[in-house]
Amino acid sequence: MSPKEAARRRWARVAWAYGLLLAFGVFFVGPFLMGFLASLKTNPLEWPFTLGFPQVSPKNWAAAWRLGKEGSGDPWLGGMRPGSKVTLEVAYFWPEEKPLELGAEIPRRKPGAGMGAVFEGPYAADYVRLLGPEHVETRPFRLGEAEGYLHRFRLRIAYEKEGPYLERVPLDLEAPRGALLVAATLDPTRFERRGRVASWDNVVPGFLGYTFHNYVRAFRETRSLDTGQSLFLRWALNSFIIAFIKVLTTLVFASMAGYALARLRFPGKEALFLFLLFSMMVPAQVTFISNYLVLKEGIFGLSKLFGVETLLNTYTGLILSTLVGTGAVFIMKQFFESIPREVEEAALIDGATPVQTLFRIVLPMATPALGALSILTFQGAWNEFFWPFIVLTSPREIYTLPLGLLSFRSAYGQVGDWGLILAGGFLSMVPVLVLFAVFQRYFVEGVSVGAVKE
């Protein structure tokens, strides 16, 4: 075989390898990207699925920014404050030259379905005044094969009197049959009555309020009935605190237990290790009833010594029942066995105790394993659903984020409002993705090194 032919075959194998990797990447990342784009849409269930929709239009980004700044001085989240005025222009195609009669109304509309429909807030119709529509221009226009006239209108919305901050100002425009909306300062949210009514949920949305409308709703609409605070933020904070505590307890106890099984000699060591392996094979669904009864009785009544009747509906019960996993102990044991014994023998000669050797010598060398274990533990605690669903039942303020997303399904799924559910799901993935991106090097190194025993 000639050198050129060998090089050609080598490059062909490389091309096949990279081609397969690219295909797998598209296969796995494609649904993720499509789901994210769907979460931006007003109607994520539209079919056929299109990549060109109002929320990804730079023209609408600029318009939403300007309208939000004019309405409240906040170009990001928009809204209207007393003393502000915004201007909106629309253009309709109409076969006749005479001006068409355009009806405009600021409806008394609740912010959304599900949780958003529970709270009573200020209605924009009670505070703002609609000026117009004012006919600005009529000129010949051709729309496809049809010839007619373009009628341009200007609307002004003024917040003249004193009042509260308005998060949203809805608007409905009704045109005669046969008139088509061909341009607008800000594209409408939807069309109703077979296209005759162009409806805006908010004409002063701001950039984030328009582009990431469902994400903003996830924070604004999910509020506590008692305090009015955002439940989504509370759920995320609850999940973070529980995950953080579990990471700390897992690192401490798994390190000590793993080191004891890897290096120390004590009676029953082998039997204990076999029991650990056996417990890894038992699914949590098999033992959850017994664990539930233990928490219900306050760990055999011990909690009553502290004035607590039961550990159900408490973070203490949730954390104590899953303080450390046997898989974490196994990972640390395997990693400690890969560290040369000569390091510990040198520390022993210098007078170090086993505890000092563990915390001052061995653990600093176990950074890859600790990093990998931190990621795995945080991901597991952050996404855990089954056991929190059993332990935490009420009130909703104590839910973790996965339980909160289940309440999204109950509140919004029944009415087909899947955009907010998608937004909540993607927000729940952000901390895990960030954590993995930051500690990816430790994760790969920890898993690969911990799996090899020298």
pLDDT digit string, tens, across residues 238-272: 999 999 999 999 999 999 999 999 988 889 999 99
Three-point CA angle 148, 150, 155, nearest 5°? 150
Among 113-127, 283-297, 437-451, which is the least confidently predicted range?
Answer: 437-451
Pairing of strands 146-158, 171-174: unpaired
393 phi and psi, to 5 degrees?
-115, -35
pLDDT band at 116 (very low <50, low <70, confident <90, very high): low
**What whole-number distance in Å separates Cα of residue 357 and Cα of residue 349?**
11
Q: Which residue has the tokens 């996830």?
A: 218
Residue 441 has pLDDT above 90, yes or no: no
pLDDT: is 444 or 379 the higher one? Answer: 379
Among 132-136, 171-175, 448-452, which range has the highest average pLDDT?
Answer: 171-175
**What whole-number distance in Å separates Cα of residue 257 and Cα of residue 238?**
28
Q: Name the CATH superfamily for 231-450.
A: MetI-like (1.10.3720.10)
List the domain boundaries for the chain.
1-40, 54-211, 231-450
pLDDT digit string, tens, across residues 287-313: 889 999 999 998 888 888 888 889 999
The predicted pLDDT at position 445 comes to: 57
Mean pLDDT for all residues in the chain: 88
pLDDT: is 74 or 9 the higher one? Answer: 74
